[in-house]
Every structure is written in C-alpha cells, then in structure tokens.
Structure 1
Amino acid sequence: MEVFFYLVFGALSAVVAALELSKNNKDRINTTSAFSSFKNNYLLVYSLMMAGDWLQGPYVYYLYSQYGYGKGDIGQLFIAGFGSSMLFGTIVGSLADKQGRKRACVTYCITYILSCITKHSPHYKVLMLGRVLGGIATSLLFSAFESWLVAEHNKRGFDQQWLSITFSKAIFLGNGLVAILSGLFGNILVDTLSLGPVAPFDAASCFLAIGMAIILSSWTENYGDPSENKDLLTQFKGAAAAIASDEKIALLGAIQSLFEGSMYTFVFLWTPALSPNGEDIPHGFIFATFMLASMLGSSLASRLMARTSPRVESYMQIVFVISAAALLLPILTTMVVTPSKATGGGMSFSGCLQLLGFCTFESCVGIFWPSIMKMRSQYIPEEARSTIMNFFRIPLNIFVCVVLYNVDAFPITVMFGMCSIFLFVASLLQRRLLIIADKPKTEDRELAKERDPETEPLNI
C-alpha cells in the first residue's frame, strides 16, 4: 500500500502545481506595490505564528504519554485546553478590541511561549497550566491577527477585494506549506537528531519569538472601540446585541461552529478510521497529504475569490455539501466492503477509499478558511470584531469538549454521521445567508426604479 500513498501525494502535488502555474489574468487581481509590501509582511508573521502552532500539534499527546500519563489524564488535559479557549476566549477578544490588536498579537506570542516552556515539566499541574495558556493563545491566534489585518487593510485605504488575496495566501502558506515543513522539521528534531519530544516545543518558541520581534518593529496599533467608558460587560452586551440583531452575523457564527466542530472531530477520528485493527499506517505522511489537499483547496479559493462570479456565499453551499458527502465514506464503506478483522498489516481497501474521501474533505477545509474570512470581513462590525469572533468559538469549544469526553461512547460511524449532518445543515444555513445578503440589493434596485420615472412602465 506504500505505492498508493505515494500516488495520492504525487497526484495532489501535481494538481496544486498545475493550478498555481496555470493562473491567468482572470485568476489574479492587480494590486499596488504598497499593498504587496503590506501583504508580504503579514504573511511572514502569520507563517511564523502557524509554524509555532503546527510544530507542537503532532507531539502533544506523545509527550504526555512519555511522561507516563494514561488516556484519561491526557483527555482531561486536552479538554482543559478547549475549555480555557471557551472561558477566556471572549475576554481576550474584547481586550483586543479595546486595548489594541497589535498588543493582543504580542500577547499571543508571550502566552504560547510560556505554554511551550511548561512542557519541560512532567508535573500534571504544570502541564495543566500549559494547556490553559495554550487555550488562551489559540483564541488570540484565530481572532486578533485577522482583526488586525482587516482594520489595518481598511485604514490604509486598500481595495476591499484585495483582502481575498491575503486570506487565500495565508491559508495556502500557513495551513499548507508551513504545516508540511513543520511536520518534517519536527520529525528531524525528534527522530533524526534524537533531541526528545520537547524539542519541537522549543523550536516553536523560537519561531514565535522571531514573529513577535517583527510585530513589535513593523506593525502599527489599531482598535475596535477604544472608548474609555465601555467596560468588558458592556462590550459583551454590544457584541451579543449585534449577533442577535443581524441575522447575517448569527448565521455566519452558526456556519463556522458547525464546520469547525466537524473539522476538529475529524482530527480525532481519522486515525482510528484508517486503522481500525491497528494497521500500520504512516501517520506523518498522511498528515502531510492532508495538508497538501488543504493547499489545493486554498488555491481553488484564490481563483474563485478573484472573480466576481460565483460569489463566496454561493459556492460555499456546494463546498459544504461535498464535505458532508466526504465524511459519509466511513459509513458507506462499512456497508459495502466487508470489514477485515485481521490485526496489524497495511491499510485495507476500505481504508484507501476513506483516505481519498478525507483528502476531499481537507480540500474543502482549504476553501473554507479564506472564504469564511472574506465573509467575516464583510458582515462583522469593526468595533467588536475580535469579541464577536470569539463568541463564535464558544459553541465550537463546547461541542469539541463533549466529543472528547464521549469519544469512546459511540461507534465511529455514528460520529462521522453526526459530522455529515452538521455539514449539511451548514449548507442550508449558507443558502439562507445568500438569500438575506441579496435582499438589500433587490430593495436598492426597487428604490432606484421608484425614484427614476423613466424606468417605470408607461400607464396608458
């Protein structure tokens, strides 16, 4: 089956290369040198931040197990991370809007570096503290940087459509190329150089420190609502009121929670799905293949967003339906292909089919990230952007904590079926968002007809 892995990886590499090299003028947006300099600076910082995050991911569970902790204790540590993000995420998001997004990004670097330092201790309480700090850092990573980018982009007077370039490139590099290189670099540190499972966390600290230095030296500060008379509670109420009063924002939050909840559940489930009987599978190579599929999706997204048609709200309906179908494969294969009961060995035929489906899902993930960023930049009000974005993560973190706590209580097919249903619901909500987003344009055309008598039909 090794040949199959190489074929899938090679095919995805060829398609990504072909997509990038075949881009024509219709697939590109003409910009200015000032914007290019601004974009490249942000992409450098974002890539360093993501390198600091991706280096840690593959070795967190392994490090805890090396310290002698069992599955139950490790599960509690993971739940602490998501719980911390849920409890403190909205607070740090509000502070970012009020105290400054640049400060929030620097806080992310410091918090995550401290989290990495705790990995040197085998003591459970210290590791728990590290997970809490990591949860806070995750909330900042997925809100403060995007909020700073959108505000700074608008403050400098760049075209609104140019944001899609930065978003798609950030996902292509940060969630694709950097993820692959980080996985390989971590493997060299731990396996080739035998530096131990803490080495990737030390390397992550170095990348985060370099990124923080660039932020401090080249970024300017921007705010959401810096008024002194608003405390955190007032900001929370304002963000909640914005979500409740604007159906577009509420729909966007529901769509994001449904998709990301399914995505994080997939992260926990893909290994037992591909090796249900302890089959010997190349985890690192499969992870790199998934990231390559994500790069494929972000490359497709950059083409789609460079054109006026189809709109983001339109094509994302199709993306959610495809992703729902992709996660149905584990259920379909168990119904069609007789499961093998032999332990060990290589990946089974049904596993190979599922791998193709999972690559399809990861391609949808690559399209989702820049597309949801584009929609958030359009619909979320600037004065409470970070606060609202972290409000969106509350149901996501609750969902992931519940899944982690009950991961052994349900068959894996039930879990995938649940994710597929959530993704299908997301496509229905996306359809609703498209209809609502089109309403103001229809009303404007009707008002224009009323004001211009020449557009009215003659009454004889």
Structure 2
Amino acid sequence: MELFYYAVFGGLAAVVAAVELSKTNKDRINTSTAFNSFKNNYLVVYSLMMAGDWLQGPYVYYLYTTYGFGKGEIGQLFIAGFGSSMLFGTIVGSLADKQGRKRACVTYCITYILSCITKHSPQYKVLMLGRILGGIATSLLFSAFESWLVAEHFKRGFDQQWLSLTFSKAVFLGNGLVAIISGLFGNLLVDTFSLGPVSPFDAAACFLAIGMTIILSSWSENYGDASENKDLLTQFKGAAVAIASDEKIALLGAIQSLFEGSMYTFVFLWTPALSPNDEDIPHGFIFATFMLASMLGSSIASRLLSRNSPKVESYMQIVFIISSASLLLPILTSFLVTPTKVKRGGISFSGCLQLLGFCTFEACVGIFWPSIMKMRSQYVPEEARSTIMNFFRIPLNMFVCIVLYNVDAFPITVMFGMCSIFLFVASILQRRLSAIADKPKTEDWAMMKDKDAEGEPLNDM
C-alpha cells in the first residue's frame, strides 16, 4: 500500500483527535443525568443498527458475483432495492406515525434480518425478495429511529438544544466509528477467517437481533397524531398539504433530496474515478478513510450546533458550496493533469488530488447529517414526521434508480458535473431557507388538522 494512503488516513485521524480534545466548555452542552442515560441508550441502539447496515454494504456486489450473476442482473437487484424504498417508504413511514415508532424500529430489525437470511440462497428470485425487504428496511432506518428520538426527547421534557448533541454523537459513532470497525470486522470474517462473503450478513443479523432486544426491553412507544384515527390515504394527503403549505418544509425536502442524491451517486462513482485504468487501489482502506473524514465533519458539526451562532441554516450554505467544489475535481483534473496510460499501476497524481477532494466531500457529509436532523426537528411537524421524511426520499430514490439504469450512458465527468450542480442548487435553496427561517410557521398545517378533525374533506383546501 502506498505511503500516500497512510498519510491521508493519519492526517485525518490527527485532525479528528485534535478537534475532539480541543473542545472547551463553550463547545460542550451541560446536560442532566437522565438525559445522558437516555442519549446513551439511543446511541447504543443506533450504533447496532448502523453496524447491521455497514457490515453488508461492502459485500453485496461481491456476493452476487460469487453466485455467477453479471453486471446487468446485479444492477437490476440494486434498482429493486432503491425502487422498493421509493414505493414502500411512504407507506411504512405513515404506518410508523400511526402504529408507533417503536414498532416500526422493531419491524426494521425483523425485515433486515430476513433480508440477510435471503443472502444464503443463490436463487435470483430469493435475492430479489431480499433486496425488496432491504429497501423497506432502509426507509425505516432513516425515518422511524429519528422520529422516535425526537418525540421521546420532547415527551421527557429535555431541552431542545440537547437534541443536537444526540444527533452529532449518533453520526460520529454510527456513520463514522462504527462504519470503520464494521469494514475491518467484515474483512476479518471474509479474508482472515475465510468464512465466505455471506458471513458479514450473518454478523449483521446478530447485531440487529441484539439491538431489537434492547428496543423491546427499554424503549417506550410514541406515535404521530394518535388522537385521530386516520387511514393511510388521509395521512398521505395531510403530509402533502404540510409540505405544500409550508415553504420551509418544501425547501428542506428539496435540499435533502439534492444532497443525498449526489451522495449516493458519489458512492457509485468514486471507484472508477480513482482507478480509470484499473489501478490497484485499496478499496477497504479508502472507505475507512472516507468514514474518518465523515467523523471529522460530525465532530465539527457538534461544535457548531452547541453554539447559538452561526445558525445551522447559515453555515450549511457554505457546506453545500464546498461540497459542490470538491466534486468538480474529477472534471478539473481531466483538463489540467495529463492522464496516465499505465494499466493496473498505483494511484495516479490525478487520483491523489481527487482522493483529497473526496475526503473533503465526506467531511461535508459528516456535517450534513446532524445538521439536517436538527433542521428537520425544527420544521417538520411531529404529527406526520415519518410520513413527511419518507416523502422526501421519493425523488431521491427515483434519481438513484435513473442513475443506476444509465450509469454507462454518460462519461464520469458528466455525472460528477451533474452532482456538483445539484449541490450548488442546494446552497441556493439553503440561502432561501436561511432568509425565511425566523418567520412564524404557517397556519395552514393547523387549519388542515382542524378541518380534518371536523370531518371536512382535505381536498377542499
């Protein structure tokens, strides 16, 4: 492995350690013992849930190839996962608001465990079923847990500012440290112990089962708008009205879709970008480096969120501009750096520059997650939180499906350029959100609830 990779990883590790150790009392939030107990319980569960997800990611494609499937069939399996999340996400989100967020979190565990079990079968139909189950589980992972946390946080009377502490720690652990450990543990199972590419999925199922046990034994139930017996269609209409009637919610949904769409596209693009001539690059080590950069971002976010200034709506404009610029590097290097023609050599100078830019983007991702969670807790109404959050994921999943279907149709520079434009648009929308953030919430959502309670049809609004 080239010294460059160690230098980047070591440099990021040193910066993360410096940021964490240099925190002063101004960067720390004084909390209560009850809140710390509540926060730690959630962080343990969330870390186990993310471990179950991260263990699978690096080996899905590889497992399918060992079963003899080609690129086209594997692409269809991936599309099925994102398509399932798009089609069923809003339904499961609404059920989470109606039937309870704790039940939805338990359903996530069961659904993802079943998805892991299907990986033992080489049958295409069984694997397709597993991808559909995985798509449903992903929708629950990114809506039900956050919805439960926010509702439970306020139900227990904790300070609103303390919520940002839980968000930043969850990203630091679940999307950073746990991701790195999961990658190393999966590598240990597959390569060192030679247990085969299905072993990480078995390990993921075990972690999910442990997390589910903790949820069942220590979590209380909470709901969305439990006072009204709404059917799913009424919930969909209510969520749509909330988005359409409050510009802040609509802007937040657009910003989230643009950023996450670019992020998931980047997941498919970074490998061919760094190895255009089949260079020998350490994928696992680079992935761990990206996760370390994400940890740095979440550590910076925790410091920003612990203060009243700058506001999250303001600094996220800068984050989106930086992320947009970082994904322009593959385009700039294609013009400014002479491409190498060496096949299967080490990483090129252009690749080194791009890797640094990609680490910058991952640091922006680390800032994005706790910050978007904070903004969602402020603007998304509690009554339909899970439903609205999964509404936001519909354009995201649609976009990713289109990209996957046409991944070979466009040059990689065009794809990066498209992502960069999306991120720049997100910065413009974030500027608009910042401008209207202090305006009072629209009364349309409350009016809609009142009309619904009185039995008036929602579509008369």
Which aligned pairs between 1:245-260 and structure 2 lie closer than 5 A?
A: 245-260=245-260
Matches of 2:440 and 2:215, distance apart in 1:
39
Matched to 2:390, the amino acid is N
Matched to 2:281, the amino acid is I
Q: Displacement of 1:375 after TM fit? A: 0.1
Aligned to 1:5: 5
| 1:365 matched to 2:365 | yes
Contact persistence 1:98–1:227 (CA under 8 A): no
User: Which ranges in structure 2 are unaligned for 5 or more consecutive residues?
Assistant: 442-461
Matched to 1:175, the amino acid is N
* Alpha-carbon displacement from aligned partner over 1:180-207 (angstroms, at most 9, x marks no partner): 0000000000000000000000000000
Which aligned pairs between 1:18-417 and structure 2 lie closer than 5 A?
A: 18-227=18-227, 229-417=229-417
Matches of 2:83 and 2:167, distance apart in 1:
28
Matches of 2:389 and 2:106, distance apart in 1:
18
SS at match of 1:438: coil
Matches of 1:437 and 1:391, distance apart in 2:
21
Matches of 2:71 and 2:412, distance apart in 1:
18
Q: Displacement of 1:294 after TM fit? A: 0.1
* Alpha-carbon displacement from aligned partner over 1:27-59 (angstroms, at most 9, x marks no partner): 001000000000000000000000000000000
Matches of 1:378 and 1:439, distance apart in 2:
12
Matched to 2:115, the amino acid is S
SS at match of 2:5: helix
CA RMSD, Structure 1 to Structure 2 (Å): 0.8
Q: Displacement of 1:226 after TM fit? A: 1.9
Contact persistence 1:119–1:130 (CA under 8 A): yes
SS at match of 2:121: coil
Matches of 2:79 and 2:112, distance apart in 1:
17
Matches of 1:336 and 1:5, distance apart in 2:
23
SS at match of 2:409: coil
- Greater Rg over alpha carbons, structure: 1
* Alpha-carbon displacement from aligned partner over 1:239-278 (angstroms, at most 9, x marks no partner): 0000000000000000000000000000000000000000
Q: Displacement of 1:370 after TM fit? A: 0.1
Matched to 1:260, the amino acid is E
SS at match of 2:107: helix
Q: Displacement of 1:439 after TM fit? A: 3.3
Matches of 2:376 and 2:258, distance apart in 1:
15
Matches of 1:263 and 1:303, distance apart in 2:
23
Matches of 2:254 and 2:200, distance apart in 1:
35
The percent identity for this pair of structures is 88
SS at match of 1:276: coil
Aligned to 2:428: 428
TM-score under structure 1 length normalisation: 0.95
Aligned to 1:458: none
Contact persistence 1:84–1:135 (CA under 8 A): yes
SS at match of 1:268: helix
Matches of 1:313 and 1:226, distance apart in 2:
31
Aligned to 1:448: none
Matched to 2:15, the amino acid is V
Matches of 1:329 and 1:402, distance apart in 2:
24
Matched to 2:306, the amino acid is A
Contact persistence 1:54–1:183 (CA under 8 A): yes
Matches of 2:339 and 2:427, distance apart in 1:
31
Q: Displacement of 1:228 after TM fit? A: 5.2
Contact persistence 1:380–1:388 (CA under 8 A): yes
List, as ranges, runs of 4+ consecutive aligned residues in structure 1 with deviation greater than 3 Å.
Answer: none
Q: Displacement of 1:227 after TM fit? A: 3.8
Matches of 2:303 and 2:227, distance apart in 1:
40
Matched to 2:24, the amino acid is N
TM-score under structure 2 length normalisation: 0.95
SS at match of 1:439: coil
Matched to 2:291, the amino acid is M
